[in-house]
Amino acid sequence: MVKQKKSTGDLATIPGMELENKYSTKNKAMSENAQDIKKNVEKTKKELEQIKTFILKKYPFTKAIGVLPPQSIKFFIEEEEVPKETEKFVQLYMIIPEEKFKEIPKIKKEIVKEIEKLKQKIWVQIKTPVDVWEICTDSKFELFSAISMSFPIYDTNFLSYLRVAEIHKSLVLQKFEKYVVSYVIGGSFVRGETKKTSDLDVFIIINDTDVKRMPRLELRERLRGIIYQYIGEASALAGVKQNILSPQIYLLTDFWESVKDAHPVIFTFIRDGVPIYDRGVFMPWKALLRMGRLKPSSEAIDMYMSLGDQTLKRSKKMMLDIVIQDIFNGVNTPSQALLMLYGLPPPNVKETVKQMKKIFVDKEKILEQKYVDMLKEITIKYYKGYEHGKIKEVSGKELDHLLKNTEAYLKRLKELRKQIEKRTQEKTIEEIYKDVFELLKIVTKKTSQAQITKDFEENFVKKGKFSPQNLRILDKIIQARSEFKKGKVKPHKIDEARKNASLLINDLIEFSQRKDLVSMEKGRMKLKYKKSGKSKVAELLINKGGSFLFTENNIFKITNKIQASSMDEVSRSVENNKQDKSLEIDPKLFELLKKELGPFQLVL
């Protein structure tokens, strides 16, 4: 088994290192302390449950109640927070809202009285969140660590937030302690404005002044990756179900530049932030801010003042962009789509307006003129006006007006689409019906729908010339047309009829072609003759409109004489006489052939 190399804390090697799942000795001690506390708590569980029930019933505004780790009591004794004689007592740490701080003496007196009734060895401290923050600003980080790692017997997430921040801080310090100058809690948690969905904002400032082996931006991103990986581990160790930490990573040089430029976010961070670890960097800035010594330069003031003008310009440009890009595309593109649905190619901007009026208002009479006016206003007045430099900005009132019209226009286009589709469906079903019955008239020699349908079934389907499927397709086409006229047919049935009709039409065309071919073959024969002593083959096509002789390189027409002809003339003759089933051969034809070819033989 290969041992993993332990981190030396060198920032240049951090990216190549894998995270260790173990945490520092300090964290192990905290965990062991927590286990000891848990055992002690189990022994006095009933007593603590009684006192907790009393406190919550009497003071329902309580934010948290925790049992401090026994090993940490010495820090509280040194700070005279706890009397020496209570060192062996169970130490309760109770947090109440800041607005109740004046009631602390009274609350403590009543709780102590209850403890005396129960004859329990318990010492209670009652604090507000501000007291905890003052511990941090006084750099008493050991006390804060003890409070964070206290065993909660009641918590509204106050102790959970402290605990996850403390563990995450310890993991970060373990990895590269000498580079961390400050680890600060801030945001809504410190301000007392947390909600159930609130994150815990923490700010970590890294000293990058002696880093020379990589660009600072790369350094920050690599550190960010490692610090973010510790979030899940810290949440698991703290017993928090979801990742509530939201770390912000700052390099010391960038942070100082933001302080000099009086960046509002950084000033807010310094004002509200509470350090839970600091190497003499954050607290001096906080003190200077309180004293009014951190002041923005005149350049910074000018920069922030100019932001107002920039915001106004940007807002006006955004409103113009909404009209020129979003609203224009929102009405123009769907309009082009409906024109294409109608069967026209996609027109340009001006043509779109003209075609919408010409087709749907004037010709089809299914669209009201006011909607074309709306389209014209947006596309011609505003879009083209912008292109030609006439429109340079729009007011909020104009934008509201255009948005209202756009909404109405798009709603009307949806209705128009249904109307166009209905017209298209009507046209489709009529074309299908017409194409099919025109072919059936040729095949059956009948005229009415009833006669054609009956004859097709009796003389073509039942006699095996067409399949039963062809008859079913014909019935569905007739049914679809009938239902459409009654307004009952659905679009998918029209589409189904169109697809099936193509099968029937192909079969009808193929049948007609076969008939024509058979008719032609009746008048086609080969002739054998000799020319210059060599055997030759010619082809004879006998047609009512004229007979044709095909030799090696020539085409001749035979009437009362033989004369040169062409393939076009042959095609016209066949086309004009292909429906004629009768075929009569004039004996004079063979006399003319004998004069032209000499003696010949017929090959059938």
Report the C-alpha gap between 409 and 391 in whole angstroms.
22
Beta bridge partners of 529: 536, 600
* CATH superfamily name and code, 164-296: Beta Polymerase, domain 2 (3.30.460.10)
* Ranges under pLDDT 70 in the chain: 1-43, 212, 262, 295-309, 489, 513-523, 544-545, 574-584, 604
Q: How many CB atoms lie within 10 A of CB 277?
A: 22
**For residues 367 and 382, is the Cβ–Cβ distance under 8 A?**
no
Whether the Cβ atoms of residue 68 and residue 153 lie closer than 8 Å to each other: no
Looking at residue 11, what is its pLDDT? Answer: 42
CB atoms within 10 A of CB 333: 11
CA distance 230 to 237: 11
* CA distance between the termini of the chain: 95
Domain limits, the chain: 44-156, 164-296, 302-394, 423-519, 523-603
Does domain 44-156 bear CATH number 1.10.530?
Answer: no
Burial of 499 (0-12, 13-18, 19+ CB in 10 A): exposed
At 526 the pLDDT is 84
Q: What is the pTM of this model?
A: 0.50
Question: Cβ distance 543 to 573 under 8 Å?
Answer: yes
pLDDT confidence of residue 577: 61
Contact 339, 361 (CB under 8 A): no
pLDDT in tens, 452-470: 889 888 888 888 888 888 8
3-class SS letters over 317-380: HHHHHHHHHHHHHHHHHHHHHHHHHHCCCCCCHHHHHHHHHHHHHHHCCCCCHHHHHHHHHHHH
List C-alpha distances in Å: 480 to 149, 275, 432, 492, 530: 78, 79, 10, 11, 64
Q: What is the C-alpha to C-alpha distance for residues 356 and 339, in angstroms, rounded to an integer?
A: 7
State the chain's mean pLDDT as an integer: 82
